Structure 1
Amino acid sequence: MSLLSVVTAVYEPEPEYLLAAYESLDSQHLPAGWEWEWLVQEDGRTGAAASILPADERIKLGYGRHNGVAITRNLALAASGGSLVKNLDQDDILSPGVLARDIAVLGEDGLPEVHWTVSRALDLLPDGSTAAVAGDPPDGRLPRGFVPDRWRAAAYRLPVHPATMCLRRNLITALGGWMAVPGSDDTGLLIAAGTLTVGYFHAEPGLLYRKWPGQESGQARHTEPVEWNARMSLIDERARALEQLWAQQSVPAS
């Protein structure tokens, strides 16, 4: 049996939203021979997630010190066992069929040259309506370098949504998991993955990205200029270093 690990960092979760995330995962239909596990890692030790979620042997609860979302996701990664790893934020909702689409590309019968996938995301607004985000690329392969090049050209704005990522396990572990930068750890991982390897974009929506007052990316501190520029600069510097190393390894030995 092949396994896809879904990783969720939890901190002071809204019960309604965390249950909606679970229900969206529970309703996924996977190809024959596949199953999922959900690594719900709490950033702390309050037991909040355990008090909200139902008993389900596919859910693996973890706890740790209060270290922030990147370390919390990486602790969940360490406890996971899947050959594929997908992120799911505690307040977002997976769209029907998204796991099957990820597996179709990254599974044993998929596209071996592709190492990660992203999907179209729709903003889920407080009134329950959804809104599309303009600028998605066409459905299909994303060449190596496409995402970081577009990101730089757009003043550090991504052309695809990092919350929709699914990656081959050997890629995510080789890159050190989620990058230890505040609020942009998924951007750091996606930029590094896109620098080294080919990806795939699913034009069919794969995620409802919840917009609500409590979300971290909606807080003023997330876009405070000094910190924002520092972490974007570090993500960019790492990507350029990876690109340089790739180029050196690609040159035949004399």
Structure 2
Amino acid sequence: MSAAVSRRVTVVTAVHGPSARFLPDAYTSLCAQRLPTGWEWEWIVQEDGTTDEVRPHVPDDARVTFRQGRPGGPGVARTIALAHAEGAYVKVLDADDRLTPGALARDLAVLEADPTVGWTTSRVLDLLPDGSTVGFPDDPDDGPIARGAVLDHWKRNDFRAPVHPASLCVRRELLVALGGWMALPASEDTGLLLALNAVSRGWFSAEAGLLYRKWEGQVTGQAAHVDPAERAARTAVAEARAHALAGFDWTFPSTTATPPGPPAP
């Protein structure tokens, strides 16, 4: 990895037709980020489909790449986008959400300072249709998240994670090692969060880093999202994956890696 690429954050956005109109707001929030000297961002916008609805809303910016693919859900779109991600870190930004000022810099500060932290999350505020925001009352304290803590909380609180997966920033090598997002019709980002926490420590920033838009076309607001049978299946496979990963003798960063040998003659 070149020095330039190693100092890059790849922002990945999955988008479909109904949410495409919010892309300019997401882009504005991305342009407002102030990164440390020498750092840059790239934005990969991956359409979950091959329609003509999204492209008109994609900003004309050399840092922005737009791609399309056959539909498979947001998890598939984000994972296929990894083929083109060049940054050392991958930041999630859903098409209908917005970053708050300083969000990327705070993620970088944690990940650059502590190589034992595999991922970061932040406080999330719901962005309501009238422009007001609402926070969550039970956010954890600012600081590290121990391995296994997310799964424990998730099981004790009706499958609600203590931190929001839409605010994830992840070391690219760790994200790729886990196979990206889960192949689920929903909760694919929660499944990834559980997997990440099964093998690595995380970090929570108590300063709001994401505005999570609430609107009438939101996928998580549809009836299918809370179908009992599907929800039970999603949670079962996500939990099973996290338990399986936790049971393996592998953590990030690896503690069993073989030291490099002497150079070849």
Structure 2 length normalisation: TM-score?
0.90
- Could you list the runs of 4 or more consecutive aligned residues of structure 1 that deviate by over 3 angstroms after TM superposition? 13-16, 246-251
- Bigger drift between 14-23 and 209-218 goes to 14-23
Structure 2 spans left out of the alignment, 5+ residues? 257-265
**Residue correspondence of structure 1 range 28-39 to structure 2 within 5 A:** 28-39=33-44
The question of 1:11 aligning with 2:36 is answered no
Distance 1:240 1:192 in 2: 9
Residue of structure 1 equivalent to 2:227:
224
Distance 1:243 1:38 in 2: 32
User: 1:76-127 CA distances to partner (integer Å, 9 max, x unpaired)?
Assistant: 11111111001100000100000000010112xx111101000000000011
Residue of structure 1 equivalent to 2:60:
55
Give 1:53 deviation, angstroms: 2.4
Which amino acid is the alignment partner of residue 73 of structure 1? R
Report SS of the residue matched to 2:195.
helix
- Bigger drift between 96-105 and 61-70 goes to 61-70
The question of 1:138 aligning with 2:141 is answered yes
**Residue correspondence of structure 1 range 151-230 to structure 2 within 5 A:** 151-230=154-233
Residue of structure 2 equivalent to 1:98:
103
User: Cα RMSD between the aligned structures?
Assistant: 1.7
Which amino acid is the alignment partner of residue 206 of structure 1? G
Distance 1:155 1:143 in 2: 20
Distance 2:148 2:20 in 1: 39
Structure 1 spans left out of the alignment, 5+ residues? none
Give 1:15 deviation, angstroms: 4.9
**Residue correspondence of structure 1 range 18-33 to structure 2 within 5 A:** 18-33=23-38
The question of 1:112 aligning with 2:115 is answered yes
Report SS of the residue matched to 2:208.
strand
Give 1:54 deviation, angstroms: 2.5
In the alignment, is the contact (CA less than 8 A) between 1:122 and 1:132 conserved in 2? yes
In the alignment, is the contact (CA less than 8 A) between 1:40 and 1:49 conserved in 2? no
User: 1:170-210 CA distances to partner (integer Å, 9 max, x unpaired)?
Assistant: 11001000011111110000000011100000000000000
Give 1:18 deviation, angstroms: 1.3
Residue of structure 2 equivalent to 1:150:
153
Pick from 116, 125, 128: which aligns with 1:122?
A: 125
Distance 1:246 1:47 in 2: 47
Q: Per the alignment, do residues 98 and 250 of structure 1 end up closer, same or farther by CA in structure 2, a change over 3 Å counting?
A: closer
Which amino acid is the alignment partner of residue 167 of structure 2? T
